[in-house]
Amino acid sequence: MANIFLQNTLSGKKEIFRPIKEGQVSMYNCGPTVYDYAHIGNLRSYVFADILRRMFEYNRYKVNQIINITDIGHLTSDADEGEDKMAKALKREGKPMTLEAMREVADFYFEKFKDDLVQLNIKLPSHFPFASEHISEDIELIQKLLDKGYTYAISDGLYFDTSKFSDYGKLGGLAPIDTDHSRIGANPEKKSLRDFVLWKFNRELGYDSPFGHGFPGWHIECSAMSRKYLGQPFDIHTGGIDHIPVHHNNEIAQSEAAYDAPLANIWMHNSFLTINKGKMAKSEGNFITLNTLKEKGIDPLALRYFYLTTHYSSPMNFTWQALKGAQIAWKKLRNFVSRTVLDSKDMSKGTFDIYKEKFTTYINDDLDTPQALALVWEIVKDKNINQRDKRDLILYFDKVIGLKLDKVDDVPKNIQKLIEEINEARMEKDFAKSDKLRKEIESFGFEVMDTPEGTKVEKK
């Protein structure tokens, strides 16, 4: 197998990937809190994780991928302050404050999230574990920490004492605490501002436990679920860069303290998608969903193309102009593949291998998708390759970039009939009728193209 290089947030270096089990990859991708629709900033994380998975499969690894679903325990502040996000959704939607209603809301938004993944051509993971279905695993992990002396209780919950874990903050290198300002709004009972909740007490809502009635902290849920499905350590843990300072450092601390072993060998993080130079977030009220794009005539796969034009670890600024440009490029690429005349010449093996070697080098070098896309366009423009082999190469690489370049929109029967009439009018040199039919097709939202094989259409 060719060497794979990945940027490891834990070491701060680009490293050669060495699997725990030969030929296999275990991967945990921090999933959504399903209290609302996902926005396109959130979805960048899952396209990144999908490219990572596809890269490994391209290199003939078997991937066991987990995307968790948080449906309880995630407070409005990642640092354990504020209201439970799911409880907030219940109030917003006028539902009773019960676990049953919470799961009903979670199931609804989970299905919407999964639909977003499918529309972005993201492969579904091996499992989507729900946090609410793993309370016993949370309790077991917390009990280990309690038995080993890593916890303390205050009025609102059981907390992890970060002073007992000497390596706390090793992921990304945490800055010193600004004690003059950071105490504002914080829980004054905590020994340290960085101590985090393991079990939150709640008499009205939650589950019975040896520690009291309530629910698990957000951080403990990921540690428990990742260990259950992937073991400890596992190969790769991913998420957005906003998870580094709190959520992922907390996962590392509690998992390593409990089991005296690393949680994951490699930690990878994608950067933000910004809008007007600010982070896209529900709390900021500036989030855009996939449905918003579709309402404006943007195909979800154009958004995927847009993501791939920038390295996952670099910030992206969203503009409608840039997204529309990505849609034009993606459509041109797909049209090239669909309109390709399949001649019978065969490419020399050497030419194929040269392009394959370049693509492998780019995609194995920490997922360099901008270079991989540029290579695809280089193939399109290469006059020394016949059409059939251009198509075969591009579709071979599309297994990784995942743009569904071999798929063409289904053409409705009424449009097919109009196309036949256009072709007949052209044969009869009745260009006035041909132009009239063309405008009628365009009125249905299709673009009409004249090709050597006849008239073809594509959804605008």
The confidence score (pLDDT) of residue 184 equals 46
The winner for highest mean pLDDT among 10-14, 279-283, 441-445, 450-454 is 10-14
The confidence score (pLDDT) of residue 201 equals 94
The confidence score (pLDDT) of residue 178 equals 47
| pLDDT confidence band for 340 (50 / 70 / 90) | low
Q: Is the pLDDT of residue 16 over 70?
A: yes
- The residue with greater pLDDT, 160 or 438, is 160
| pLDDT confidence band for 73 (50 / 70 / 90) | confident
How many Å separate Cα 213 from the centre of its chain? Answer: 34
Per-residue pLDDT tens for 354-369? 999 999 999 999 999 9
The confidence score (pLDDT) of residue 291 equals 94
The confidence score (pLDDT) of residue 439 equals 83
- pTM (two decimals): 0.87
**Mean pLDDT value of segment 296-307:** 96
| pLDDT confidence band for 180 (50 / 70 / 90) | very low
Percent of the chain predicted with pLDDT > 90: 69
The residue extents of the domains of the chain are 20-270, 290-401, 413-459
- The residue with greater pLDDT, 86 or 145, is 145
**Mean pLDDT value of segment 247-255:** 96
Q: Which is nearest to 335 in space by CA: 448, 443, 445, 415? A: 448
The three-state (H, E, C) secondary structure of 325-369, written as one string: HHHHHHHHHHHHHHHCCCCCCCCCHHHHHHHHHHHHHHHHECCCH
Q: Is the pLDDT of residue 179 over 60?
A: no
The confidence score (pLDDT) of residue 155 equals 93
Q: Is the pLDDT of residue 275 over 90?
A: no
CATH number of 290-401: 1.20.120.640
The confidence score (pLDDT) of residue 444 equals 74
Q: Which residue has the tokens 């449905």?
A: 291
Percent of the chain predicted with pLDDT > 70: 88
- Which of these ranges, 226-235, 332-341, 344-353, 386-395, has the smallest mean pLDDT? 344-353
- Which of these ranges, 111-125, 217-231, 435-449, has the smallest mean pLDDT? 435-449
The confidence score (pLDDT) of residue 456 equals 67
Q: Which is nearest to 218 in space by CA: 113, 76, 109, 65? A: 76
**Mean pLDDT value of segment 285-304:** 90
Strands 273-275 and 278-279: antiparallel
Q: Is the pLDDT of residue 353 over 70?
A: yes
What CATH superfamily is the domain 20-270? HUPs (3.40.50.620)
Q: Which residues contact 123 (CB under 8 A, 6 or more apart)?
A: 50, 53, 54, 65
- Which of these ranges, 128-137, 340-349, 382-391, 413-422, has the smallest mean pLDDT? 340-349
Q: Is the pLDDT of residue 41 over 70?
A: yes
